[in-house]
Amino acid sequence: MFEFSQIGLRLGGSSGISELMDDLGQALAHGGSDIKMLGGGQPAHIPAIDARWRERMEEILRSEGEMERCLGNYEPPRGNPAFLQSLATMLRQQFSWDVSPDNLAITCGGQTAFFFLFHLLAGEMADGRKRKILLPLVPEYIGYANQSVRDDLFHAHPPRIEHTGPHEFKYRVDFDTLSIGDNIAAICVSRPTNPTGNVLTDDEIARLAVMAKDKGIPLIIDNAYGAPFPNIIFTEATPVWNEHIILTLSLSKLGLPGTRTGIVVAHPAVAAAIANMSAVVGLANPNIGQAIVRPLFESREILRLSNEVVRPFYIEKSQQAQNWVREYFAERFDYHFHRSEGALFLWLWFPGLPITSRELYERLKARGVLIISGHYFFFGLDDSVEWRHRHECLRMTFTMPAEIVSEGIRIIGQEVERAWHELGKK
């Protein structure tokens, strides 16, 4: 009906993340028990965590004037001052990071934080240069892929694949071939990595941080699933920050995705710029998540809940899903899964899969199983280089109720086996 601009076409068109969120929303709203929703990043409803949020909401309602301030007032675009102070104090005392409220900025969710950061640092510069974000290891988070308002913002580097056990592998940063050109504005990783559950080691993070510092650019670490909260990490990983690192945190995977509360920890100049961008785009950020969680920062309860409730819950869910993969896939076809080191997903690889992961997605969707085709997560690579691996993978979540995850994995196995049988008949 109307003509869209280039920016409108880029942001308003179909994308992997819009497909993912539409499937998620439709399934949760209308799907009923017949839909096996294994595709989204929806955190599980952990009873003890949900109960704590209910308690906090009731405390806010009982506290005179707090509900009115939370719902009826604009906060500064940087965030609620008391929230920022309590978080800065916790990070400083718990990890000895030299952090003050000047190093912090709140955004309307982590997705918004990365939209701001990528456009703050990369794209066309004042002198006409065009700079990109380096992804030193793909597959990487689907939500980054379509955030550029103009040219493609990403330059991705393929990983080294290491087989770590029967039907198990791990992606590692290939430092032997990784280089940082003068057109790189920042290095970006997620830890744990969405989609694979990969946790970059302390050594990998340290090496990337040194490379970034030597080039005078930041290392951005997406910590949506990481330590200190929600700490959905199943291996050893040391939280790290300094003024050459931009760390993003989120309340979503604690069980508060509806509050849309992202947190940027950065050099004061970066944090101030993010706050200014929040003011331009949305005036201020949501208050409710900050109000709910602030006392938990002050008491350190946030760390206890993360370590004693959230992390063990997801470790059990991950191990359970892996057991079902081994049971239902058995030796019927070749398969591997990425070593599950964190986050909410299993990353499945079917070497030599006769159909693409996109075709597998459509077949599974027709049977009421929603997953995400792996090809979406390999953006930023040189398209002239054919790499079949990126069409042989899929991401599934294990956060749904056990019977849904179990049945979904069983159907995935059936559809992969069917694809191989069809090939044999040709």
Domain ranges, ordered by start, for the chain = 6-49+311-425, 73-304
Report the pLDDT value the prediction gives residue 58, as an integer from 0 to 100.
97
Q: Which two tokens stand for residue 185?
A: 């504005």
Domain spanning 6-49+311-425 has what CATH number?
A: 3.90.1150.10
| CA 192/CA 179 separation, integer angstroms | 23
| CA 249/CA 103 separation, integer angstroms | 13
Report the pLDDT value the prediction gives residue 331, as an integer from 0 to 100.
87
Amino acid at 256: L
Mean pLDDT (the chain, rounded): 92
Give the number of other CB atoms < 10 A from CB of residue 114.
Answer: 24
Report the pLDDT value the prediction gives residue 425, as an integer from 0 to 100.
65
285 pLDDT more than 80: yes
Q: Which two tokens stand for residue 339?
A: 């070593």
| CA 352/CA 120 separation, integer angstroms | 41
Beta bridge partners of 394: 348, 373
Amino acid at 137: L
Q: Which two tokens stand for residue 78?
A: 């940087």
| CA 52/CA 15 separation, integer angstroms | 35
240 pLDDT more than 80: yes
Amino acid at 183: N
Confidence of residue 22 (pLDDT cuts 50, 70, 90): low
Report the pLDDT value the prediction gives residue 20, as an integer from 0 to 100.
59
Average pLDDT over residues 200-224: 97
394 pLDDT more than 90: yes
Q: Which two tokens stand for residue 62?
A: 């009982």
**pTM for the model:** 0.93
Residues 30-37: contacts with CB under 8 Å, at least 24 apart = 31/368, 34/368, 35/368, 35/370, 36/368, 36/369, 36/370, 36/400, 36/404, 36/405, 36/407, 36/408, 36/411, 37/370, 37/397, 37/400, 37/404
Beta carbons of 287 and 263 less than 8 angstroms apart? no
Average pLDDT over residues 212-222: 97
pLDDT tens string 28-44: 555 555 788 998 888 99
Report the pLDDT value the prediction gives residue 26, as an integer from 0 to 100.
62
Report the pLDDT value the prediction gives residue 223, as an integer from 0 to 100.
96
User: Which of 39-48, 122-131, 168-177 has the largest mean confidence?
Assistant: 168-177
Average pLDDT over residues 59-72: 93
Percentages of the chain per state (helix, strand, coil), in multiples of 5: 45, 15, 35
Give the lowest-confidence range in 68-72, 170-174, 276-280, 385-389.
Answer: 385-389
313 pLDDT more than 70: yes
Beta carbons of 364 and 371 less than 8 angstroms apart? yes
At CA 295, angle to CA 107 and CA 54, rounded to 5?
Answer: 85
Report the pLDDT value the prediction gives residue 108, as an integer from 0 to 100.
96
Parallel, antiparallel, or unpaired for β 262-265 and 245-250?
Answer: antiparallel
Report the pLDDT value the prediction gives residue 89, as an integer from 0 to 100.
98
422 pLDDT more than 90: no
Report the pLDDT value the prediction gives residue 236, as an integer from 0 to 100.
93
Average pLDDT over residues 198-224: 97
| CA 20/CA 372 separation, integer angstroms | 7
Judged by DSSP in three states, 323 sits in helix
Share of the chain above pLDDT 70, in %: 94
pLDDT tens string 246-284: 999 999 999 999 999 999 999 999 999 999 999 999 999
Confidence of residue 46 (pLDDT cuts 50, 70, 90): very high
Question: How long is the chain?
Answer: 426
Confidence of residue 4 (pLDDT cuts 50, 70, 90): confident
Confidence of residue 124 (pLDDT cuts 50, 70, 90): confident
Report the pLDDT value the prediction gives residue 93, as an integer from 0 to 100.
96
Report the pLDDT value the prediction gives residue 34, as an integer from 0 to 100.
73
Domain spanning 73-304 has what CATH number?
A: 3.40.640.10
Average pLDDT over residues 345-349: 98
Average pLDDT over residues 171-176: 97
